[in-house]
Chain A
């Protein structure tokens, strides 16, 4: 037998539901004129958290659309994380699941929301241990050690490059490299081409730069290894200077 009686559980449930929807419930023995403070306090925490996480989307969407979206999210969705700062991810998942971008005819909305979430995620994500590496080695032949606190993301719209108002009709393949600087914790963003995204991904998969470039030369039908190598080394050296490429993996 549960210790809590059904009647008590229902009272608690009704109050919680009211905080989510704002639809006034029948509750016993309450101070009616004070009830609305709970809805206000709960809803404000929710709104603030979402608006702080998605400032670009918030400014971009007309107020009435934004307000309706946030209202529906809070009323329909059951927030699962006990950590309120992680809740915006649930907002993103909700928008994807409900196909809000389809309903609003804004095909870049999911990308935009995800981009905004990633920025938060990169700032807060748990530390990942750095690999052990040497500072001297051969960029082509040795395995490269890269900053493990990074994400390489593909977007269909260049949400990381253009303002939200300029995204319409810009469908394509776009890649964003984000990484967290070790000392400062600052997040760096870098727009990369599909070729360089491929190179980074393969390096991450444990190939030497030489092997990656050999593959890429035919895969991308470049058929000019020396030229590819020259360009790739400029890119890789730049990443080394930025300390995204840390050095050479110790065996």
Chain B
């Protein structure tokens, strides 16, 4: 993605603040990210808003319903619609969740945890290759937050690494999800990150979450990013080459100043960890 002036931090494009964002002198993301599912085939007022946004910002796509980990066959009709959307809006990064959202021919519109199993790894590698062939571009898969493993026979880091290495896809590293999982599943976040195929990281997510009990954090994207996640971000970026970073804020949208504050804080961090003059892939 072509980003200017060593600015790396983008923001999720939400209908809730699209109008404000388009006219804003406060919020200045380097790019915007959107879910193609929310925009494909949409006309009228929202199509106009999208087109205005596309004139102003580079766009990355973060899908919701491809369901890469599903036992069901891939929905190729839908994939071709995504391909067209990617072309129409000159999207250079398309990412999806390493989870499943459809099963037994029913969409669930949320991210379910895939069993960390050898057969699932093979199944998903084949599907990612198929997606990349159709789209003629690499897919970036995201480590998701999960609240329980299911029938696991390996750990999460191994599961992710085997899929990334076996399929040749990129990794979207969600730093908040690592934090959430390390809390919920009691592991060391930094150790976890070191085990990932960091040379394949093409994109980073940052977000807020909500701790609902002594033992559980829910990945809500509805709160400010906490200090510990900023710290983990600093650590993570120190291990990586420069890549675009996205602030996800889907609910409970605050004043734009507050969002820009988070963006600025991330810019400050990467201006140290990534120094200057890196060309961004």
Name A's B-contacting residues (CB within 8 A).
2-5, 7-9, 11-13, 15-17, 19-20, 27-32, 34-35, 37-38, 41-42, 45-46, 49, 77-85, 87, 122-128, 149, 180, 184-186
CB distance from A124 to the nearest CB of B (A): 5
CB distance from A117 to the nearest CB of B (A): 16
Sample 13 A-B pairs with CB under 8 A, ordered by A number. A8-B117, A12-B103, A19-B112, A28-B150, A29-B152, A30-B149, A41-B110, A78-B105, A79-B108, A80-B105, A83-B65, A124-B43, A149-B44
Bound: A15/B113 CA distance, A: 9
Residues of A within 8 A of B117 (CB): 5, 8
Q: Which residue in B66, B119, B150 is a CB contact (below 8 Å) of A29?
A: B150
Bound: A223/B100 CA distance, A: 65
Residues of A within 8 A of B114 (CB): 12
Name B's A-contacting residues (CB within 8 A).
37-38, 40-48, 64-66, 69-71, 75, 78, 100, 102-110, 112-115, 117, 119-120, 122-123, 126, 147-152, 184, 216, 218
Residues of B within 8 A of A37 (CB): 147, 216, 218
Taking a contact as CB atoms under 8 Å apart, the answer to whether B42 and A19 are in contact is: no
Residues of A within 8 A of B42 (CB): 124, 126
Bound: A19/B104 CA distance, A: 12
Chain A's closest residue to B82 (CB) is A82
Query: Are A85 and B43 also in contact (CB < 8 A) when A3-B122, A16-B108, A78-B104 are?
Result: no
8 further interface pairs, Cβ-Cβ under 8 Å (given A9-B71, A12-B150, A30-B148): A2-B123, A3-B122, A17-B103, A28-B150, A32-B148, A34-B147, A35-B147, A82-B75
Taking a contact as CB atoms under 8 Å apart, the answer to whether A11 and B109 are in contact is: no
CB distance from B40 to the nearest CB of A (A): 7
Bound: A30/B146 CA distance, A: 11
Taking a contact as CB atoms under 8 Å apart, the answer to whether A3 and B119 are in contact is: yes
Bound: A9/B71 CA distance, A: 6
CB distance from B88 to the nearest CB of A (A): 13
Bound: A136/B6 CA distance, A: 55
Q: Which residue in B45, B48, B119, B150 is a CB contact (below 8 Å) of A5?
A: B119
Taking a contact as CB atoms under 8 Å apart, the answer to whether B108 and A8 are in contact is: no
Taking a contact as CB atoms under 8 Å apart, the answer to whether B147 and A125 are in contact is: no
CB distance from A23 to the nearest CB of B (A): 15
Taking a contact as CB atoms under 8 Å apart, the answer to whether A78 and B106 are in contact is: yes
Residues of A within 8 A of B66 (CB): 82
Q: Which residue in A19, A31, A49 is a CB contact (below 8 Å) of B148?
A: A31
Residues of A within 8 A of B150 (CB): 11-12, 15, 27-30
CB distance from B119 to the nearest CB of A (A): 4
Residues of A within 8 A of B103 (CB): 12-13, 15-17
Residues of A within 8 A of B106 (CB): 16, 20, 77-79
Taking a contact as CB atoms under 8 Å apart, the answer to whether B37 and A11 are in contact is: no
Bound: A28/B115 CA distance, A: 10
Chain B's closest residue to A187 (CB) is B44
Bound: A19/B110 CA distance, A: 10
Taking a contact as CB atoms under 8 Å apart, the answer to whether A8 and B38 are in contact is: no
Q: Which residue in A7, A20, A30, A125 is a CB contact (below 8 Å) of B108?
A: A20
Bound: A13/B107 CA distance, A: 12
Chain B's closest residue to A90 (CB) is B107
Query: Are A4 and B109 also in contact (CB < 8 A) when A16-B103, A127-B43 are?
Result: no
CB distance from B154 to the nearest CB of A (A): 12
CB distance from A22 to the nearest CB of B (A): 13
- For B37, B75, B102, B150, the residue with the greatest tally of chain A CB atoms inside 10 Å of its CB is B150
Taking a contact as CB atoms under 8 Å apart, the answer to whether A16 and B104 are in contact is: yes
Taking a contact as CB atoms under 8 Å apart, the answer to whether A83 and B45 are in contact is: no
Chain A's closest residue to B103 (CB) is A16
Bound: A13/B184 CA distance, A: 24
Chain B's closest residue to A80 (CB) is B107
Residues of B within 8 A of A5 (CB): 117, 119
CB distance from B92 to the nearest CB of A (A): 22
Taking a contact as CB atoms under 8 Å apart, the answer to whether A34 and B148 are in contact is: yes
CB distance from A75 to the nearest CB of B (A): 10
Taking a contact as CB atoms under 8 Å apart, the answer to whether B45 and A123 are in contact is: yes
Bound: A4/B47 CA distance, A: 39
